[in-house]
Each structure stands twice: as structure tokens, then as C-alpha cells.
Structure 1
């Protein structure tokens, strides 16, 4: 039986923008004889060779224990850790998140299996014109821009009625749909907990955030190794997330993510027992800048592939985001912004740090 076609209002997130089709990077990386300088020209980043200073330390991202947040004996102390993480880092490792190990193992296994499939099989789920869902790349807006060294499979997973099952692999791996469904559902439970405790740290009614994480977009990322020029390409350009917050699962624990802190790039050490959570642009607006979305990027390993899955928890498309008064004593820094208006602005341009958020700031 065919899956019902999602209504335009439910699936609107997937049609914010489209991306130009480009060469599959995994396939390109596998054909070593083709990796001449002219082939890699569109991927080479001059800005990472000279301008950036990478601080060689990792594992410093704050850790927040969800179990302790629920424990009256430790809740106040752990809430202080959460507040510090959101204020000072914009990132935290969430441990004891409660997602069953079997569900985590299944989704990791099936995502790895998907990217191991022949290219012609994966291309059966390729992006269609005008849709950001599917297998391919995102944020490719011109024939001349520098490209990221990565491929992705993106699907809108929540709410269930918004799903377009054409993009959900059904036969290979045969358990893929169930693994994604189980994982997505568990993430919604975790997201509810995160929102509840973030609201408490901001001293606002959690009901004000009820519609701020109701949609979920899963982006499964594949970063092939680049033996020739790993230090000259990026897997993901510097950006902040157009989400309320994002939950990242490291599928195979190969380091690559870096966050911008004090004008230096800090490597983040993968924690296989944690979900990495980061503040998104919409939460920065709502908190009037108290909690900041942080620029981050992905570097490439010369010998090993890196696989991750990001869950972007996003507001209802028809809603608005505005600063909640009383969070800070400072003046209001952001204007009331339509969720759809901001999403279109963000998705219709190539990634460029936090430039999209500048449009939401009051002069």
C-alpha cells in the first residue's frame, strides 16, 4: 500500500529550497585515479589553510546528565550545568538520555549499511527538484561555489503525517524504516525533556516552547576520507543551525566536528554513550541571545570515513519566534521573526557562519 502524500502544510519544511545536483563525493573518493588537482578544485578551501588556528585539545564540551536532572537530589546542580553549557558553550554532551541501547545500535547499523550500498541503489532515493529531502547534498546554490566533502540522506521524520516515504529506503537495509521510526520517536521524548529543563533554566513557562520542536528533520551525513588533501577540504562549511536545537549521534566515532570558541576551532571528541546537543538559531532568538547558537564545521580524516546523524528539532512552520521578555535585563536584541521566513532565508543561501541570524537582529 502506498504511503499517503503529505499535505503541503505538513511537508513545507522539505520545500524551503532545493540544491543543485553535484558529483557524489563517496563515489569520487573511491575512484582514486581521478583525484587530480583539477578534480578537487571545487572542494579546496583556501580559508582553512591560512586563516584558521585550530586549538589542539578536545573533550572539553560540558556534559549534562539527563538522569540527574530528573533526580530531586541532583536536579538543581545539574540544571546549573545545563545553564552554563547553553550560555558559555552552546553545546553539551547529553548522557543517560534514556534511549535504549538496542535502538541506538540498530540505527547506527542501518545508516552504515545504507551508505555501503552501490551508488545506483542509493540514487533511487535521490533528491527531487525543489525538495531538500533525499540522497544528495544541500546548500549548493551556484555552479561556482566551493563544495563540501560529504553526501547526505535527509528525511522529514516528525510529525508522522509529514513523512514522504519515497525517500525512506525500504528494501536495503530492510530494517531501515523501523530503525529510523524507533530512533525518531525516542528523540521526541528526549527533546521534550530538554525543552522542559531549558525552560526552567530560563525561568519561563515550558508551554511557550511547546510548538518550537514539533518538527524533526534527520540528516544522515557521510564524510569520505580524502587521502590527497584532507587538510584542504571541509566536510561541512562553518555554520550555525536553523533549528531550536540539534541532537547529533556519532555513528562510527571518527572525530571531525569542530566548534568555534574564542575565535579558535575546538575539536570535539566523540562520546559513543552521549548525544551531542547544540543550541540553534531559533533558541538564540527566543532567549534574546542568552543562549547562543555556535558556529561549527566538520573536518575530514585522511584515512577513515565519518558517519553521523543530526536531528534538527524545528518549530511549527506557521509560527513565529520572538524574544521572551524578562530573560535578561538587557534590551531586546532580536525582532519577532516568522519561522517560515527565517527558514527560507537560511535554506536559500550557501552556508556562511551565522550570517542568516544577522537578519533577525535589531539594529
Structure 2
């Protein structure tokens, strides 16, 4: 990889993939081609493909079914790092309204969307993320990335005013995602055997960033990636898929497994912060997005972080009596500084190990 243009907290401007796709090219421009990346590691059609676990939140809140579902949650976090949540408490209306607003935004003419383009030195706004070199391979997606909670973190000049209800819909949606995050993190800590609620409560005053992705149709989908393989630096990531066909894939036992969208479900995956807090019992999974030849896919991803005043390190209940800490203890600021100042080709989680 080329030398970076600075920290990962900004991104170089690149052409809109959506605009490129609308020209109906027969071939993909070279900068998007991933032929040398050994991309295709998938189960063959004859393999019974494993399914991402499904966790029923209504069974977690019911005392009669809680222990059994906590065991299911523990196995999902330990063996996969990802699961689909059903009966999660976020209303169908909230999910539908947000999906409609994102669709309406990406349906706008390019010049209109570009009113909320990223600015130099920032990842926020409309554009692409983590483009740090003029020669870097590009993902087949456009996105708009916004800090949504706490309220004082919002840069409202980058929040679209078109479609007209976008802002208020995102405000409500962010609150709903916060409640979902607090709830699922509470049960994740219980699944680890941690009775204290300090970790889950830290998400009440936490940071919430929303990334809305557009993966346009691609003439050579097998030669590009919507998003390159990565793990998240969040506590937990909550994804709402706007489409009824798979595009999100997780690496499981060396093979890429597609997430089959379930109507109304939220895909939850462990981030590095929970990996560190669990002392490596739960791992942040590698995942990527693939694209479709004929269909556009949209997704809404909420990155959920604990409050800035909590240190990020292994939970005290999980170390001692022969269980040594695997990861360093960092301040919130130290954790993010390590993330943004690294080179893209370095393993972030390995840099946190003792």
C-alpha cells in the first residue's frame, strides 16, 4: 500500500460509483478491480452453507427462556461474532422510515447529494471512506457518514435537508439504535458471566455514528468489492439491510458466509471494543460487502461506542485466577488515536495485545 496522506480521519475525494453505474459501462474501471486479492473464498453450491445465528430478544427478556437464549447468544458471539436480532424492540415504522429516507437520498441527482459532500480533513458527509492514496484500490460503493449521538457531536451542515424528513427521521432512528445497543450489550455481558451493568450503561452516554451505504449495480460484480474485508472498531455494530437479497458476508472458518436478510431483523456484530472487554472470548469478525450485477443494495450501519469516560480494557471480572489479560487497558482517547494513526495494512486488534 502507498504511504497514507495523513491519518484515517479523512478521505480523498473520488468519483461517485452511483454516477459511474448509471452510465451502464460494460467494464469496470481498473481502479476498482480486485483480481489479485484472492477474493472468492466461498462455500461451493454443493456445500450446506452455514447460517448466521438468529437471536430472539423477546426470549432474552423473558425469565423463563432467558438462560437458554443467553447460551445461544454466548455461542453466537464466541463462534461467529455476528447474529441477526429479531423482536429487538425497534419498531417496523422506524426501520421503514429510515430506509425510505436513505433510498430517497441516494435517488437524488448527484449535484444535489454533493451539497453534503465530505470536506477536507473529515470522514463525515457524502463520499467514500478511508481513501488515503491516489493509487489505492476503490470500493464499489458511495456512502454518507454522520455522527448522530450525542447531539453536540452533530455537524448539521452535513445533514441532508433533502429529502425533507431525513434529519428528523435519523434523529429518531439514532435514539432507537441507542436503546437496542444498550439492551443487547447488557445481555452480551450477562452471557460472559458479568453481572455488573457498568459496560452496558456506558452505551447510554456513548457515541453513535451512522454510515448509509449505496452499492450500485456492477457490470463485473465478481471482480470488485462493495467494502473490503475488515473488522469494526466499535463496541457493537447494528446494521439494517434495505434489500431482500444478500450482500453482507462474514468470514467463518475460512469461508465467506452471506447474511440472508430477514424482514425486520437487525444484524449485530461484535466490534473490537467488546473483543477487548471480553478479553478475547468474543472476537470482532472479518466481514465484507459484495455487489450485484442487476440490483442496487442499500444498508444503514450504526457504529455504537461506550461513553468517552470509560477505559477500554478487559473487564475485571474476566481476569485473575489464572486468566491473564490479553489486551492493554487504554483510555477512550488512546484507543481511537491508535486506530486512526495506524497504517491501513496493519492489524489494529494485534496492536492492542499485551
Q: What TM-score does the superposition give when structure 1 sets the normalisation length?
A: 0.89
Question: For structure 1, which runs of at least 5 residues remain unmatched after alignment?
Answer: 1-14
Deviation string, structure 1 residues 252-272 (Cα, Å, up to 9, x no partner): 223111111111111111112
Q: Which aligned segments of 4 or more residues in structure 1 are displaced greater than 4 angstroms?
A: 56-59, 348-352
Contact 2:186 2:199 (8 Å CA) reproduced: no
Alignment of 1:196-215 (within 5 A): 196-204=186-194, 205-212=196-203, 214-215=206-207
Quote the offset at 1:341 in angstroms.
3.0
Counterpart of 1:183?
A: 173
For residues 16 and 305 of structure 2, what CA distance do their matches in structure 1 show? 28
1:42 is aligned to 2:31: yes
Deviation string, structure 1 residues 340-363 (Cα, Å, up to 9, x no partner): 3332343456755x811111012x
RMSD over aligned CA atoms reads: 2.0
Counterpart of 1:129?
A: 120
Counterpart of 2:303?
A: 312
User: What secondary structure sits across from 1:217 in the alignment?
Assistant: strand
Counterpart of 2:17?
A: 25
Counterpart of 2:42?
A: 54
Counterpart of 2:353?
A: 361
Counterpart of 2:232?
A: 241
Q: 1:167 to 1:257 in 2, by over 3 A?
A: same
Contact 1:61 1:92 (8 Å CA) reproduced: yes
Counterpart of 1:342?
A: 335
For residues 263 and 291 of structure 2, what CA distance do their matches in structure 1 show? 19
Question: Paired residue for 1:223, among 208, 215, 218?
Answer: 215
Q: 1:58 to 1:317 in 2, by over 3 A?
A: farther
User: What secondary structure sits across from 1:309 in the alignment?
Assistant: strand
Deviation string, structure 1 residues 91-113 (Cα, Å, up to 9, x no partner): 01000011111111111111001
User: What secondary structure sits across from 1:291 in the alignment?
Assistant: coil
Paired residues, what number? 341
User: What secondary structure sits across from 1:108 in the alignment?
Assistant: helix
For residues 342 and 110 of structure 1, what CA distance do their matches in structure 2 show? 33
Quote the offset at 1:51 in angstroms.
5.8
Quote the offset at 1:178 in angstroms.
1.6
Deviation string, structure 1 residues 153-196 (Cα, Å, up to 9, x no partner): 110111112111111111x2111112111111111111111121
For residues 284 and 99 of structure 1, what CA distance do their matches in structure 2 show? 25
Contact 1:141 1:350 (8 Å CA) reproduced: no
Q: 1:319 to 1:325 in 2, by over 3 A?
A: closer
Counterpart of 2:287?
A: 296
Quote the offset at 1:210 in angstroms.
2.8
Q: What TM-score does the superposition give when structure 2 sets the normalisation length?
A: 0.91
User: What secondary structure sits across from 2:256 in the alignment?
Assistant: strand
Alignment of 1:146-185 (within 5 A): 146-170=137-161, 172-185=162-175
Alignment of 1:5-24 (within 5 A): 17-24=9-16
Q: 1:42 to 1:345 in 2, by over 3 A?
A: farther
Q: 1:237 to 1:351 in 2, by over 3 A?
A: farther
For residues 24 and 350 of structure 1, what CA distance do their matches in structure 2 show? 25
User: What secondary structure sits across from 1:188 in the alignment?
Assistant: helix
